[in-house]
């Protein structure tokens, strides 16, 4: 990749100048230095001035000891201070050298002494009398006002300077805090996008994005649109204006954009949706304008807006609610820029969100975001790839089997997998191991799924027994149901908020049948059923299970149309446009029917769970006792007690077999 040593300042982001591979540091001179210098000069003048200070004395002393001896040349009354300054005759200064401050020499002009006059008219009267008493001596009386030079100017200016200083300081801070960047408050309307110029060294490449083959292909195609547009336009086609990466959190959308910036070889502007939002009205729209202006200057180029839902949320339908005006203005500007009157050929907009459902439909229409690239949670094969990427920097033990780890992590996103790898390395380091072993990965997965193990929690013997029978209930019921998720292990070691748990390995299904949902519900209710059957009493321990079962039952009835009485109706609104939260889309009678059906579903599942446990009462007790003894039991133990599950799927079978050929080195 070609090196580009040009230092640029675009949109508040600049790359440091590079010399001999090291950034050159030039001393920075800014406004603060000016203030410092000014203050130093003022203070310097104040203290380093050559003037000696007059010595304080009294009117009486002056009159009786100085004037009477003819030593005083002049008395100057400083009216604004209520003081009078005494100037001695040049040849008499020496006489008072004891009293005078050092620095007064015979040549020094004075004033040599000063005194407080008291009321001006009284003083004038007294001076007149004193002068009349000494007719042979000449003493001049003068009136003046005086400000003590720099000191008084400084004392006047200081508060003003201080206010200006604070004002500038806070404004700079504020505008920088708001992303104003260099240039302060006046740049607030400028786009905050980071610009990655052609040739900028970005370490992320498409190789770092594991799996997501289709999404990667789409993104790569966008890059090729920019590089050789003729190939696509010569047949009359138009180059897409934008692509939207949609998917759950942590699935690699931002990572993909980073890789694109690294590989596109065209200028890449990157910013987040929230960067447009500001406390000033009109700033968002102005930033959008500025972003597109900059981009058009650098076309062909790519603009990436992460978390676009911050500005792209559907515009309100109620025109009286003005609270979102600013956001709507920003969105309107974005819509205009993306497909407005002005052409912006050569600028492709890539955006990412995990809330495509709430985006404004005008934003999503063809001609703006022509393409939607769905980045889903990774499947088994993709998870393997992601694990490989994240295991590369680790020292991994020979027993670590990537396909096995991928199987243990259904439903995990790329970010979760990155977290597993990191957590496993930390766990291994804590145990002073030289390599990260399989068990460390399993512990990391457990920790991420269930939270931190909390063995020090004090649990009474009776409670422990109840927990064991509860968990054994889940395990037994699910073991004996065809469609329940395969069980991994059962534990009564408290973890996170849970006191015990049955761990399943959810099957990766694209669609789920009613039977599967019912079996799942039944195994969820197995815990409470076990408590009732064994102890004849029920506890609060089943709250989480009941919540799950209830939600699932409601979804079955109102979303999936799985109830006979309600029929094939779905009251779910995937567009998010309806006001279902305020008004129900069904009548009161249907509402009652829904409640009834939900109750029916849950009760039937509960009765089924109880029947299963009653039938296998002995085995259930055995599972619970083993659990009490060992705290953690695995599917092999259940197989010994309850027999092999006849419905074990192929995939599940292979789950516990380690593949020798897929070790990560
Ligand atoms: P969000 O929507 O919450 O912003 P996202 O989809 O943008 O999430 P990323 O920030 O791209 O998620 O991913 C987070 C981290 O997860 C990445 O830094 C990377 O370590 C890891 N990751 C996610 N997907 C992948 C993948 N396909 N390959 C490798 N690593 C991945």
Report CA(211)–ligand 1 centroid distance (Å). 12
Ligand 1 centroid to residue 622 C-alpha, Å: 44
Between 156 and 627, name the one with better pLDDT.
627
- 343: pLDDT strictly greater than 90: no
Q: How confident is the model at residue 79 (pLDDT cuts 50, 70, 90)?
A: confident
User: Taking the C-alpha atoms of 354, 356, 360 and 366 in order, what is their torsion angle to the nearest 10 degrees?
Assistant: 130
* Interval 88-113: pLDDT, tens: 888 888 788 777 766 555 556 778 88
- Which of these, 508, 511, 517, 507, lies nearest to 562 by C-alpha position? 517
Angle ∠(207,210,211) on CA atoms, nearest 5: 125
Alpha-carbon gap, residue 333 to 315, rounded angstroms:
13
Instruction: Specify the residue with its C-alpha closest to ligand 1, atom 15.
Output: 415
Among 278, 326, 385, 471, the active-site one is 471
- pLDDT > 50? residue 564: yes
Q: What is the pLDDT of residues 114-128, one digit of tens each?
A: 899 888 888 888 888
φ, ψ of residue 587 to 5 degrees: the values are -80, 170
Work out the pLDDT band at 488, boundaries 50, 70, 90: confident
Contacts of 612 (CB under 8 A, 6+ apart): 476, 477, 480, 481, 522, 526
Average pLDDT over residues 34-41: 75
Instruction: Give the per-residue pLDDT at 48.
Output: 57
- Decide: 312 in ligand 1 pocket, CB within 6 A: no
Task: Tell me the pLDDT tens digit for each residue of 443-483.
Answer: 898 888 877 777 777 888 888 899 999 999 999 999 999 88
Counting Cα atoms < 13 Å in the Cβ hemisphere of 36 gives 5
| 527 touches ligand 1 (CB under 6 Å) | no
Q: Is the CB of 209 under 6 A from ligand 1?
A: yes
Residue 623 above 80 pLDDT?
A: yes
Confidence class for position 649, pLDDT limits 50, 70, 90: low
Backbone φ and ψ of 581, nearest 5°: -70, -25
Q: Is 211 in the pocket of ligand 1 (CB under 6 A)?
A: yes
252 touches ligand 1 (CB under 6 Å): yes
Q: Is residue 273 within 6 Å of ligand 1 at its C-beta?
A: no
Q: Are 262 and 208 in contact (CB under 8 A)?
A: no
Closest C-alpha to 417, from 468, 379, 469, 461: 379
Mean pLDDT of 572-576: 72
Whole-model pTM: value is 0.64
Q: Are 6 and 200 a contacting pair, CB within 8 Å?
A: no
- What are the CA-CA distances from residue 466 to residues 198, 222, 525, 539 (Å)? 65, 59, 15, 9
Q: Report how far residue 638's alpha carbon sits from residue 490's, in angstroms, rounded to the nearest whole number.
A: 9
Output the residue whose Cα is nearest ligand 1's atom 18. 255
Q: Which atom of ligand 1 is nearest to the CA of 306?
A: 4
Locate 366 and state its tokens.
Answer: 């063809």
Query: Which residue's CA is the nearest one to ligand 1's atom 2?
Result: 249
Ligand 1 pocket, residue 284 CB under 6 Å: no
Q: Percent of the chain beyond pLDDT 90?
A: 18
Distance CA 415, CA 412 (A): 8
Residue 29 has, within 13 A of its CA and on its CB side, a CA count of 2
CA 365 to chain centre: 30
Measured in Å, residue 58 CA sits from the centre of ligand 1 at: 85
Tokens 């407080």 found at: 116
Q: Which tops the pLDDT comparison, 564 or 658? A: 564
353 CB within 6 A, ligand 1: no
Q: Which of 250, 233, 189 lies closest to 383 in space, CA to CA?
A: 250
Nearest CA to 639 among 651, 657, 623, 654? 623
CA of 415 to the centre of ligand 1 (A): 5
Question: Residue 268 in contact with residue 196, Cβ under 8 Å?
Answer: yes
Q: Rounded mean pLDDT of 39-65?
A: 75
pLDDT confidence of residue 652: 45
Position with higher pLDDT, 557 vs 362: 557
Most confident region among 100-114, 213-227, 270-284 by mean pLDDT: 213-227
Q: At 663, give phi and psi (nearest 5°).
A: -70, 145
Query: How far is 71 from 414, CA to CA, in rounded Å?
Result: 97
Best residue among 202, 204, 251, 351 to mutate for probing ligand 1, ranked by most atoms within 8 Å of CB = 251
- CB-based contact 101:53 (threshold 8 Å): yes
Confidence of residue 528 (pLDDT cuts 50, 70, 90): very high
Grade residue 598 by pLDDT with cuts at 50, 70 and 90.
very high
Model pLDDT, residue 201: 67
396: CA distance to ligand 1 center in Å? 22
CA-255 nearest atom, ligand 1: 11
The reported pLDDT for the residue numbered 469 is 94
Could you tell me what percent of the chain has a pLDDT over 70? 81
Residue 600 pLDDT level (bands cut at 50, 70, 90)? very high
Cis peptide before 300 (omega within 30 of 0): yes
In three-state form (DSSP H/G/I as H, E/B as E, the rest C), the secondary structure along 286-327 is HHHHHHHHHHHHHCCEEEEEECCHHHHECCCCCCCCHHHHHH
CA distance 376 to 343: 33
Q: Determine the pLDDT at residue 141.
A: 86
- CA distances to 32, 125, 159, 512 from 36, in Å: 6, 50, 15, 73
DSSP state of 359: B
Q: Chain-wide mean pLDDT for the chain?
A: 79
* Those residues with Cβ within 8 angstroms of residue 462's Cβ, 6 or more apart along the chain or in another chain: none
Among this protein's residues, is 328 annotated catalytic?
no
CB 212 less than 6 A from any atom of ligand 1: yes
Distance (angstroms) between ligand 1 centre and the Cα of 452 equals: 23
Indicate if ligand 1 lies below 6 Å from the C-beta of 415.
yes
Ligand 1: atom nearest CA of 382 is 27
DSSP 32: H
Q: 250 alpha carbon to ligand 1 midpoint, in Å?
A: 4
Task: Return the bridge partners of 23, or none.
Answer: 18
Please give the distance, rounded to the nearest whole angstrom, from the Cα atom of residue 414 to the centre of ligand 1: 5
């Amino acid at each position: 990749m070609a090196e580009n040593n040009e230092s640029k300042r675009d949109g508040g982001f600049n790359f440091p100048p590079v010399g001999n591979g090291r950034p050159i540091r030039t001393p920075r001179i800014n406004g603060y230095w000016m203030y410092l210098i000014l203050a130093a000069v003022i203070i310097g003048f104040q203290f380093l001035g050559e003037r000696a200070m007059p010595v304080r004395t009294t009117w009486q002393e002056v009159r009786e000891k100085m004037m009477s001896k003819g030593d005083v040349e002049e008395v100057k009354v400083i009216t604004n201070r209520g003081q009078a300054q005494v100037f001695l005759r040049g040849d008499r200064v020496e006489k008072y050298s004891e009293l005078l401050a050092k620095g007064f020499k015979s040549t020094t002009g004075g004033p040599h002494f000063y005194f407080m006059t008291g009321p001006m008219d009284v003083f004038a009267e007294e001076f007149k009398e004193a002068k009349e008493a000494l007719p042979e001596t000449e003493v001049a009386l003068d009136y003046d006002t005086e400000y003590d030079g720099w000191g008084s100017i400084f004392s006047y200016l200081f508060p003003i300077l201080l206010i200006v200083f604070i004002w500038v300081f806070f404004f700079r801070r504020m505008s920088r805090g708001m992303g104003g960047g260099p240039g302060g408050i006046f740049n607030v309307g400028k786009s905050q996008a980071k610009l990655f110029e052609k040739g900028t060294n970005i370490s992320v490449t498409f190789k770092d994005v594991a799996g997501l083959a289709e999404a990667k292909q789409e993104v790569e195609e966008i890059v090729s649109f920019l590089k050789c547009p003729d190939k696509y336009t010569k047949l009359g086609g138009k180059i897409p204006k934008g692509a939207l990466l949609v998917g759950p959190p942590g699935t690699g959308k931002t990572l993909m954009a980073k890789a694109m910036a690294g590989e596109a070889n065209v200028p890449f502007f990157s910013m987040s949706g929230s960067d447009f939002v500001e406390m000033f009205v009109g700033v968002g729209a102005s930033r959008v304008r500025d972003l597109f202006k900059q981009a058009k200057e650098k076309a062909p180029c790519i603009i990436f807006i992460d978390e676009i839902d911050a500005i792209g949320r559907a515009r309100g339908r109620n025109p009286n609610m003005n609270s979102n005006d600013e956001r709507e203005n920003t969105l309107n500007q974005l819509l205009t820029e993306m497909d407005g009157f002005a052409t912006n050929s050569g600028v492709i907009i890539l955006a990412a969100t995990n809330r495509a459902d709430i985006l404004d439909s005008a934003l999503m229409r063809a001609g703006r975001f022509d393409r939607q690239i769905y980045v889903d949670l990774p499947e088994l094969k993709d998870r393997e790839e992601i694990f490989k990427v994240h295991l590369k920097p680790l020292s991994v033990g020979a027993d670590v089997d990537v396909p096995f780890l991928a199987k243990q992590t259904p439903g995990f996103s790329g970010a979760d997998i990155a977290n597993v790898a990191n957590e496993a390395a930390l766990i291994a380091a804590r145990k002073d191991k030289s390599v990260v072993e399989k068990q460390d990965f399993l512990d990391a997965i457990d920790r991420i799924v269930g939270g931190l193990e909390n063995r020090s929690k004090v649990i009474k013997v009776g409670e422990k027994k109840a927990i064991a029978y509860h968990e054994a209930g889940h395990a037994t019921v699910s073991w004996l149901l065809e469609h329940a998720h395969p069980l991994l292990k059962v534990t009564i070691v408290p973890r996170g908020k849970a006191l015990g748990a049955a761990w399943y390995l959810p099957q990766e299904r694209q669609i789920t049948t009613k039977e599967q949902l019912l079996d799942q519900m039944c195994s969820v209710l197995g815990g409470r059923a076990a408590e009732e059957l064994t102890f004849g009493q029920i506890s609060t321990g089943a709250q989480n299970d009941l919540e799950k079962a209830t939600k699932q039952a409601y979804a079955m009835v109102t979303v999936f149309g799985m109830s006979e009485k309600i029929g094939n109706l779905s009251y779910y609104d995937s567009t998010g446009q309806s006001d279902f939260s305020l008004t129900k889309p069904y009548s009161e009678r249907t509402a009652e029917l829904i409640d009834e059906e939900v109750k029916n579903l849950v009760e039937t599942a509960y009765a089924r769970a109880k029947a299963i446990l009653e039938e296998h009462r002995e085995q259930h007790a055995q599972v619970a006792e083993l659990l009490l003894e060992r705290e953690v039991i695995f599917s092999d133990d259940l197989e010994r007690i309850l027999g092999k599950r006849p419905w074990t799927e192929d995939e599940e079978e292979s789950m516990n077999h380690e593949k020798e050929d897929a070790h990560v080195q």
